[in-house]
Structure 1
Amino acid sequence: MVSKWLIAALALGVAPVAAAAEGCDTAVLVEPEKRAEVLRSIREAETEMEARGHANAMWDIWATAPDARAQELLDEGMDRREAHDFEGAIKAFDALVDYCPGYAEGYNQRAFIRFMQRDYAPALTDLEAAITRAPDHFAAIAGKALTLMGLGRNGEAKTALEEALGLNPWLPERGLMGMLENQDI
């Protein structure tokens, strides 16, 4: 028997959480071999410009959502961020994370907004969630390093930055390594 709550939710156009989770299949995301190939290309690049082209290919992978609804929410959040509508961006990324909890980029993008707002603790939580779902997400790992710096946790920031640079030695944040190495941490 269908519950009254389910009927009311469907009548209002609100998908129940269980149905939403079934609607987003992260198994359709790019296979690990392709990701590993792009990461290898970044590490083997001979110039920063060449590495940037490969890094852009990785961003294309990360920013390709598992289905049309997830892509719509990701694009909406990013558009709102570009328009400096941070509240609207957070709402879109909240909806994306609720709809597609296995998709790393929803967490990463929400963390970026929170970082920009200097809301470091929730940003760190989102970055950890993104990295758990996409351990090769060097941008999220670099974001984690910056967030840890914002929290004054420079020893942990150095470790995170080393990890990110192990994946992409051409990251712009590489210039921070000298500063972190020279601090009393």
Structure 2
Amino acid sequence: MNQNLVDKLLLDLKNSEPNIRERATRQLWSIWFWQKGKIPLEQIEESERLLAEGNVAAATSILDDLVDALPDFAEAWNRRAVLKFMTQNYDRAIVDCERVLELNPVHFGALHGLGLCHAALGNYSAAIRAFRNALEIQPHAIENQRLILECTARLS
């Protein structure tokens, strides 16, 4: 991974110009998805296709195999966290999000997902922390701002 490019894109996420932020967001996702090359990316795409068709078991199997084969591939862990979230397996999704963040501490998607999982479990303080951490990386992400307010209201 080209760390200089990633650092530049992370700075662009803080830019006041929406087009610059959107481009940086797209490029970071691309870097993360392509981190291990074409074949692992195709496996992720296949798992997403299977999930969209409702074949959760097959999608899970692909992602389980991928994280076993490439344990340092953050996006494989992130995709599996998304799948676990979608199947309401929040505790296990949290474990996968935390693994993503060990591998890629600036993964704003995993931070957002971590917040969503904690919120779904009623752990609003933890959700707020995750959304705030995501905002440190992507300060213009209105959805995270909204979710912080929502979780804060639920604490009252």
Partner of 1:142: 112
Question: Structure 1, residues 128-171: CA drift from partner, whole Å, max 9, x if none?
Answer: 11111010100001100000111111001101100001101232
- Of the structure 1 ranges 162-171 and 83-92, higher mean CA displacement relative to structure 2 is found in 83-92
Pick closer, same or farther for the CA change 1:51–1:93 going to 2, 3 Å. same
How many residues are matched? 155
Partner of 2:46: 76
Partner of 2:148: 177
Structural mapping, 1:78-117, within 5 Å? 78-117=48-87
Whole-angstrom distance in 2 between the partners of 1:68 and 1:58: 16
Asked whether the equivalents of residues 65 and 74 of structure 1 are also in contact (C-alpha less than 8 Å), the reply is no
TM-score by length of 1: 0.77
Identity of aligned residues (%): 25
Q: Letter of the 1:73 partner, please give it.
A: Q
Partner of 1:37: 8
Deviation at 1:68, TM superposition (A): 4.0
Partner of 2:125: 155
Calculate the aligned-residue CA RMSD, in Å: 1.7
Whole-angstrom distance in 1 between the partners of 2:106 and 2:10: 8
Deviation at 1:84, TM superposition (A): 3.2
Whole-angstrom distance in 2 between the partners of 1:111 and 1:88: 15
TM-score by length of 2: 0.90
Q: Letter of the 1:145 partner, please give it.
A: G
Pick closer, same or farther for the CA change 1:85–1:173 going to 2, 3 Å. farther
Larger Rg: 1
Tell me, yes or no, if structure 1 residue 123 matches structure 2 residue 93: yes
Structural mapping, 1:39-54, within 5 Å? 39-47=10-18, 49-54=19-24
Unaligned runs of 5+ in 1: 1-29
Asked whether the equivalents of residues 41 and 54 of structure 1 are also in contact (C-alpha less than 8 Å), the reply is yes
Asked whether the equivalents of residues 10 and 137 of structure 2 are also in contact (C-alpha less than 8 Å), the reply is yes
Runs of 4+ in structure 1 over 6 Å off: none
Asked whether the equivalents of residues 13 and 138 of structure 2 are also in contact (C-alpha less than 8 Å), the reply is yes
